[in-house]
């Protein structure tokens, strides 16, 4: 007969109630990890949607990508006619636009990753491995989406099959080389965008962020902001003027403060802080980090977000 031990109670046999508690603890841990994963995915998805809708640079990159696609198709037609043949227009349109559409659909996910782990001179060596892993994932997703769209089009329009991997691994390596160039271009564009934003924030006067708390209007000056914590549908905002409660989500407040010029960083899924108010950080057990602010307040940065403070 199999015996069960309760962790930390060496030598004591568990009865039926102990087995139930052990079973409950095991599955509660699994559920907690699953909930945390689902929350991470939900947060990432929301950031992607917001970026796709609001970021003008992504809109420009999408338009630029489709513009290059049109140029490639026109070049193909011109070359075919120069050689004395009549070009098959539909096939190059499908192949070129399937690749371009896959790239455009992946752009928000890439730029959210760049925002969360920005590549800087200080830590580029440490980020080299995750950036390489993301470049591989980006290429695999791009090729997969592109090939699926082409296979569907070939079945519907040509009553045939589209064969992509005729050369085996050679095709994948060929596509990765091309996608790596696109990936490095996007990294460079994001780096330039980040520098332009920081220069703009430093050069303009920071207007207050206007918030509502019932009938009260709050004027929150970015330089005066210290930190904020989520409180249900509200946010507790602490600044040099004191603590106030505003009806707004933490993500919306973070976006407003960043747009107004504050160097705000998320240190926990329920807390943001003004980077300029941080005077000390110290690692603690469990992978988290203590964050000390100018006013003496002590906050905790979770291990999921602490990389942004380094």
- Residue-level pLDDT at 42: 74
- Residue-level pLDDT at 196: 80
What 283-292 contacts at long range (C-beta under 8 Å, 24+ apart), as own/partner pairs, is 291/267
Burial of 18 (0-12, 13-18, 19+ CB in 10 A): middle
What 176-179 contacts at long range (C-beta under 8 Å, 24+ apart), as own/partner pairs, is 176/136, 176/139, 179/135, 179/138, 179/139, 179/142, 179/143
Of the candidates 161, 140, 159, the residue with the CA atom closest to the CA atom of residue 151: 161
Q: How far apart are CA 77 and CA 83, in angstroms?
A: 10
Of the candidates 69, 68, 65, 71, the residue with the CA atom closest to the CA atom of residue 95: 69
**Could you tell me the two tokens for 274?**
């003004």
Q: Identify the structural domains of the chain with CATH numbers, from first to last.
A: 55-203 (no CATH), 209-309 (2.40.50.1020)
3-state secondary structure of 62: helix
- Residue-level pLDDT at 149: 94
- Residue-level pLDDT at 240: 84
Query: Do 103 and 149 contact (CB within 8 A), yes or no?
Result: no
Partners of 220 in beta bridges = 209
Instruction: Give all strands of the β-sheet with 264-268 in edge-to-edge order.
Output: 242-246, 234-239, 225-231, 271-274, 264-268
- Residue-level pLDDT at 71: 93
- Residue-level pLDDT at 263: 86
- Residue-level pLDDT at 17: 52
Query: Do 98 and 150 contact (CB within 8 A), yes or no?
Result: yes
- Residue-level pLDDT at 56: 86
Angle, to 10 degrees, between the axis of helix 90-116 and the axis of helix 16-54?
A: 120
Q: How far apart are CA 182 and CA 179, in angstroms?
A: 5
Contacts of 267 (CB under 8 A, 6+ apart): 273, 289, 291, 299, 300, 301, 302, 305, 306, 308, 309
Q: How far apart are CA 180 and CA 187, in angstroms?
A: 10
Kindly give the confidence (pLDDT) of every residue in the chain, 310 residues in length, as a single tens digit, with 9 standing for 90 and above.
Answer: 444 444 444 444 445 555 555 555 555 555 556 666 676 677 767 777 877 777 888 899 999 999 999 999 998 888 888 887 777 788 889 999 999 999 999 999 999 888 888 887 777 888 899 999 999 999 999 999 999 999 999 998 888 888 877 666 778 888 999 999 999 999 999 888 887 877 765 555 567 888 988 888 888 888 889 999 998 889 999 988 888 999 999 988 998 888 887 889 899 889 999 988 888 888 887 788 888 888 788 998 888 887 777 6
Unique residue bearing structure tokens 């520098």: 195
What distance lies between CA 179 and its chain's CA centroid?
19
3-state secondary structure of 297: coil
**Could you tell me the two tokens for 204?**
């303009």
């Amino acid at each position: 007969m199999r015996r069960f031990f309760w962790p930390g109670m060496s030598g004591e046999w568990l009865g039926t109630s102990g087995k139930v508690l052990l079973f409950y603890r095991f599955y509660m841990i699994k559920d907690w990890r699953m909930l945390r994963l689902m929350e991470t995915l939900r947060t990432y998805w929301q950031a992607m949607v917001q970026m796709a809708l609001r970021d003008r640079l992504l809109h420009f990159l999408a338009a630029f990508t489709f513009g290059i696609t049109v140029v490639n198709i026109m070049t193909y037609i011109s070359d075919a006619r120069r050689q004395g043949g009549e070009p098959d227009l539909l096939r190059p349109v499908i192949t070129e636009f399937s690749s371009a559409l896959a790239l455009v659909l992946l752009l928000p996910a890439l730029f959210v990753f760049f925002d969360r782990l920005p590549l800087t001179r200080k830590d580029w060596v440490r980020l080299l491995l995750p950036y390489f892993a993301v470049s591989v994932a980006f290429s695999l997703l791009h090729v997969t989406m592109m090939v699926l769209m082409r296979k569907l089009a070939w079945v519907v329009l040509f009553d045939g099959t589209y064969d992509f991997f005729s050369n085996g691994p050679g095709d994948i390596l060929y596509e990765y080389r091309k996608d790596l160039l696109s990936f490095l271009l996007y990294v460079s564009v994001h780096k330039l965008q980040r520098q332009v934003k920081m220069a703009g924030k430093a050069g303009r006067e920071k207007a207050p962020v206007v918030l509502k708390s019932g009938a009260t209007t709050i004027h929150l000056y970015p330089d005066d902001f210290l930190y904020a914590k989520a409180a249900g549908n509200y946010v507790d905002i602490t600044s040099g003027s004191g603590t106030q409660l505003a009806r707004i989500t933490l993500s919306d407040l973070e976006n407003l403060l960043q747009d107004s010029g504050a160097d705000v960083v998320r240190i926990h899924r329920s807390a943001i802080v003004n980077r300029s108010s941080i005077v000390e950080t110290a690692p603690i057990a469990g992978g988290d980090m203590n964050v000390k602010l100018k006013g003496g307040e002590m906050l905790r940065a979770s291990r999921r977000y602490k990389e942004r403070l380094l």
